[in-house]
Amino acid sequence: MSGVKTLGQFIIEKQADFPYAKGELSRLLRDLAIAAKIVNREVNKAGLMDIIGDTEDINVQGETQKKLDVYANEQFISALKSGGECCIVVSEENDDYIYIDSEISRNAKYIVAIDPLDGSSNIDVNVAVGTVFSIYRRKSTEGKATLRDALQKGTEQVAAGYIVYGASTMLVYTTGVGVNGFTLDPSIGEFCLSHPQMKIPKDGKIYSINEGNYKRFPEGVKKYIKYCQVEDDATNRPYTSRYIGSMVADLHRNIIKGGIFIYPTTAGSPRGKLRLVYECNPIAFIIEQAGGRATNGFSRILDTEVDSLHQRSAIFVGSENMVLLAEKFMSEYS
Ligand code: AHG
Ligand code: MN
Ligand code: MN
Ligand code: MN
C-alpha cells in the first residue's frame, strides 16, 4: 500500500487551498464519493439485476427515465441529505430544485447541481456512463435558500467534478486549483490518486460530435467538420472521429489525449441539447482548470447568465487551439 493516496487523504491535505470553512466542502466531496461507489456497484452488475431498461416516467427534458437514472438520482440525493452540508440539490431528473429540510442541514451552505447518470442510453449496452456535479456556495444569508441561490453563474462554482464508470471507475474534480483524478481500487473500496494535476494538451487530433445530425448543424460546424477530414500532413489531418454518446466519457478521453467535443445548436434543438447548470458548467470549469477552453461557439460557457434550472446550451469544449479554430469557423460562417 505504500505510495497510495486516497481521495479522503488528498482532500484533507488540500483543505488549505480552500478559502472558506475547511471541513464542509471536504465532507460534501466525501458524500458525493460515497454515492458514486454505490452507483458504481449497481452499474457493475446492471446486467444481472432488474436495473437496465426504462421506467414509465418522463423527466422534465421529455426523456424517458432509465431505471438507473432514477436509482443514481436517489443515491446522490440521499447521500447529500445525510451528509448535512447541502441545502439545495438541482438534478436533471427533478423538475424543480430540492430543498433539503432537515435538522442537520439547517446551516448548510452549499448547493449541488447534478447529472446523476450521464449517457444513460449506454447502460443497456455495457458502455461507459458517468456522473457530473457542480458545487456552489449559498449567497442568501437569511431564511431558506432560494431559487436564486440555485441559479448562479458558472464562474461562481467552488468545485466541480465527474465520475466515469468505465473499464475502471474514476473520479475527477477541481476546487479551482487544478484538476486531479482518482481511480477506484475495488479491492479496498477507495478512490486513489492516479492522475495528479491533469492537463489537456493544447492541440489534439480527435473530434467528437454526433455527425448523424450533420444536416441540422450551423454552417460553421459543417465547415469545421470538413476541415477535420481534410488530408494535410503538416497539421496531422485527417483527425480521428470518436463519439461514445456519454459526454463524460468523451470528455475524459479528450482531456487525456487532446481533442474537441462539440454539441452545437441544431435545427431541432435551437438552444443546444446539453444542460447548462449540471452538464456544461461543471465540464467547462474542469476543462478550464485543466488548461482547455469551453464556449458555446461564440462566448465563454462560464459567463453565461443562468435563467432556469434546465436551460440548454451549445458547447464547444476541449483542447484550446482546437476550440479556438472551431470558434473561428463559427464567427465566419454562422
Ligand atoms: P443524459 O444521459 O444525462 O441525458 O445525457 C445525454 C447527453 C450526453 O451524455 C451525450 O453527450 C449526449 O446526450 C448524446 O446525445 P445524442 O444521442 O444526441 O448524440
Ligand atoms: Mn437524460
Ligand atoms: Mn448528461
Ligand atoms: Mn443524465
Q: What is the pLDDT of residue 82?
A: 95
DSSP output for 203-261: S-SEEE--GGGGGGS-HHHHHHHHHHHS-BGGGTBSPEE---S-HHHHHHHHHHH--EE
**What are the residues whose beta carbons fall under 8 Å from the beta carbon of 173, sequence distance 6 or more?**
29, 159, 160, 161, 162, 179, 180, 286
Task: Tell me which residue has its CA closest to atom 18 in ligand 1.
Answer: 210
Helix runs in 151-208, H state only: none
Short-list 310, 333, 331, CA closest to 114: 310
Measure 129 CA to ligand 4 centroid, in angstroms: 9
SS3 178: coil
Q: What is the pLDDT of residue 22?
A: 74
Cα separations in angstroms, 247 against 47, 124, 143: 22, 17, 37
User: What cell does 125 get?
Assistant: 449496452
**φ and ψ of 53, to 5 deg:** 95, -175
Residues of the chain under the 70 pLDDT cut: 1-2
- Determine whether the annotation assigns residue 273 to a binding site: yes
39 pocket-lining for ligand 1 (C-beta < 6 Å): no
Helix runs in 57-146, H state only: 67-83
Short-list 285, 279, 274, CA closest to 312: 274
Ion ligand 4: protein residues whose beta carbon lies under 5 Å: 92, 115, 117-118
What do you get for the CA distance between the two ends of the chain, in Å? 55
Helix runs in the chain, H state only: 7-14, 22-44, 67-83, 147-150, 219-229, 247-257, 281-289, 320-333
64 pocket-lining for ligand 1 (C-beta < 6 Å): no
Short-list 198, 221, 219, 195, CA closest to 208: 221
- Rounded-to-integer distance, Cα 304 and Cα 275, Å: 12
Q: What is the pLDDT of residue 48?
A: 77
ipTM: 0.98
Q: What is the pLDDT of residue 21?
A: 74
Q: What is the pLDDT of residue 2?
A: 61
* 187-243: pLDDT as tens digits: 999 999 999 999 999 999 999 999 999 999 999 999 999 999 999 999 999 999 999
Task: Supply the pTM of this predicted model.
Answer: 0.97
